A and B are shown apart, each in its own frame.
Chain A
Amino acid sequence: MSEPVISVRNLQVEFVTRRATLRAIDGVSFDIHKGEVLGVVGESGAGKSVTGAAIIGLIEPPGRISGGEILLNGRRIDNLSPEEMRKVRGRKVAMIFQDPLTSLNPLFRVGEQLVETIRTHLQMNERQARDRAVELLTEVGIPAPEKRIDGYPHEFSGGMRQRVVIALALCAEPDFIVADEPTTALDVSVQAQIISLIKKLGRERGMAVMLVTHDMGVIAETADRVAVMYAGRLAEIGPVRDVVQRPMHPYAKGLMGAIPTLEASTERLVQIPGSMPRLSSIPRGCAFNPRCADVFARCHVDQPLPLSVQGRQVACHLYENERLKTAEVAR
């Protein structure tokens, strides 16, 4: 396979507070290739959004990247100066936010925001930038863009605003885009439209997309691969069909078991007992051990490292033997 657009290697993010240093992201690694959509799922606070923010260099103090590397097209971007990173942001990597109602500046016309963004990154005059803005609005499916470009954000509906947000993110043709729960704040009927728009744009433009969401349905439909995060660590990452249908990590199993289906006539949905630990009290060993049904002695001692099993990576001691077996077979 060609070089990945985004390569995150052993990323660590820490938040320094007065009491302690909290590790929000601990040893997360993944690649995203051209035209690929990586879905990232997990409970609130699992570190999904922080990972996205780390990639586009928008972790706010007291947070900081304390270890690992982030490579964009093979070039490190996590150690760039703020000014250099600013030029990468929007130009090479972009981000779509959760709530389209709050992510547009209410006091500026949509066109002003688009033109400003375009002219920040591309050598264009006002006229050219405006033409490009109209093109972008057309591309994201806004009707009568020549007229709507002079509208203010409050004159757009939620779904239309999210389309504007997407157009803004696409201004300079980025190679990589983080979509941080782009449909959570939208009506169900509009969600599907926005998701298919993101998927279509990603495919047509060959962008790498990191789609952060709670919605397993969205993941199943959109993503090529899926990463399951828990307490700042990757539990499992692999092709979407494998992970959704045959999850291996006990947490992933619990997560997938909690999806209601029409076929299965179970009385109750599976539920993972307990809740995710606070960052200040992540247990020793495997972070999931207090809630895991298959827990054994080693889980309380060693932090499991990602194992390559059956075409995916699983961070669980249960599969240590299986990996050895496959390794023996291979030998």
Chain B
Amino acid sequence: MLAYILRSLTQATLVMLAVAFIAFSMFRYVGDPVASIVGQDATLKDRQELTESLGLNDPFPLQFVRFLGNALQGDFGISYRQGRPVAELLIERLPATIELAVISAAVALGLGLMLGIYAALNRRGVIANIVMSLSLIGVSLPTFLIGIGLIFLFSVYLRWLPSFGRGEVVAFGWWTTGLLTDSGRKSLIMPVITLGFFQLTLIMRLVRAEMLEVMRTEYIKFARARGLSDGSVHFRHALRNAMVPVITITGLQLGSIIAFAIVTETVFNWPGLGALFVRSVEVVDIPVMAAYLMFVGLVFVVVNLIVDVLYFLVDPRLRGGITVPSR
């Protein structure tokens, strides 16, 4: 177990190093940081001084190590455009994105699992078929279209829900939440649906396909032949086996919910990290972009780490012959 986790951790660290390297290269070589900071009418002397003080004349490896060290301490430099520390900007935006992503993920996972299992067990049922047909929409419609469609229906036509922003938020220290106010909750509904719908349908279709696959296996037939109850056959024997591939895909999908809420945040003008990133791209705010890249990398690495550990817990075959020596 420990060796397995250590191996996963090592891999995670290597991936993060690679991401950091890309982020650093972007930071250092996309555009001229000095020009970005001082503007066009600075003198040559000003520029040289700034170059020196930023350490840009140092050898490349030294610069990278310094960048890494700063990043580890949460220092991603200062935003070119806003003149504030990047870390501060990120933290300010983080709660909005996390709240949206976690709720979306929970809805997608919960509903996706339930509907997927239902559709697999009632393969020929009318409701299951309707759900399956509808899920095709979710898989094939682009996110922004769903968002715009929802806005049109619920904000413009029915006037039930707000079309942008988070509504009123309540602050706990640096964390802010919209869950405690009426307008905050109302504001969450459409972005959550927009962000989670694709994942929901994907998870549902995946769970259904895997369940059907597992239900055809010999060990399920044998479990039936032993007279085990339907409940045990479906939810103990079949579901656990179906979960192994579902965990992989779901893990990656949930990672991308958190990391790539960009489109949804843009459509709903949601004050999260995605919106910040889009703004930074528009104004070439490289430090913010680099930090966002690192953040996305971190999310995926952490999610993958969790997936690896879950695998380990679900599938004994990965644990190697620890329990008893094989004959």
Task: List the interface of chain A (C-beta within 8 A of B).
Answer: 56, 58, 86-91, 94-95, 97-99, 102-109, 116-117, 120-121, 143, 147-148, 150-152, 154-157, 160, 165, 168-169, 171-172
Contact = CB atoms under 8 A, between A and B. Distances in A.
A157 B327 contact: yes
Interface magnitude class on chain B: 20 to 34
A95 B219 CA distance: 12
B225 A90 contact: yes
17 contacts: A58-B225, A90-B228, A97-B218, A97-B221, A102-B219, A103-B218, A105-B241, A108-B240, A117-B226, A117-B227, A117-B228, A143-B327, A151-B323, A152-B316, A155-B323, A156-B326, A171-B226
Given A99-B218, A104-B222, 10 more contacts: A89-B226, A89-B227, A91-B227, A106-B317, A108-B237, A109-B323, A116-B232, A120-B232, A121-B227, A172-B227
A89 B225 contact: yes
Interface in B195-254: 217-219, 221-230, 232, 236-237, 240-241
Contact of B323 (A87, A121, A143, A152): A152
Contact of A95 (B225, B237, B315): B225
Nearest to A104: B219
A154 B232 contact: no
B73 to A, nearest CB: 43
Contacts of B314: 107
Closest 5 CB pairs of A and B: A90-B227, A89-B227, A90-B226, A102-B218, A95-B225
B225 A150 contact: no
A104 B221 CA distance: 10
Contacts of A90: 225-228
A122 to B, nearest CB: 11
B173 interface: no
Interface of B: 217-219, 221-230, 232, 236-237, 240-241, 314-317, 321, 323-324, 326-327
Given A150-B323, A152-B316, A58 B221 contact: yes
Contact of A86 (B229, B240, B241, B321): B229
Contact of A103 (B222, B232, B241, B323): B222
Given A116-B232, A165-B222, A87 B227 contact: yes
A171 B223 CA distance: 12
A237 B222 CA distance: 28
Contact of B241 (A107, A109, A120): A107
A58 B321 CA distance: 35
Most buried by B among A89, A143, A150, A157: A89
A233 B224 CA distance: 27
Most buried by B among A105, A151, A169, A171: A105
Contact of A168 (B222, B240, B315): B222
A58 B219 contact: no
Given A97-B218, A154-B316, A155-B323, A105 B224 contact: no
Contacts of A156: 326-327
A94 B224 CA distance: 10
A117 B228 CA distance: 7
A18 to B, nearest CB: 14
Contacts of A98: 218
Contacts of B240: 107-108
Contacts of A117: 226-228
Nearest to B230: A86
Nearest to B123: A61
A168 B241 CA distance: 20
Nearest to B316: A152
B124 to A, nearest CB: 8
Most buried by A among B314, B316, B317, B326: B316
Contacts of A171: 226
Nearest to B217: A102
B319 to A, nearest CB: 8
Contacts of A91: 227
A269 to B, nearest CB: 32
Most buried by B among A88, A106, A121: A106
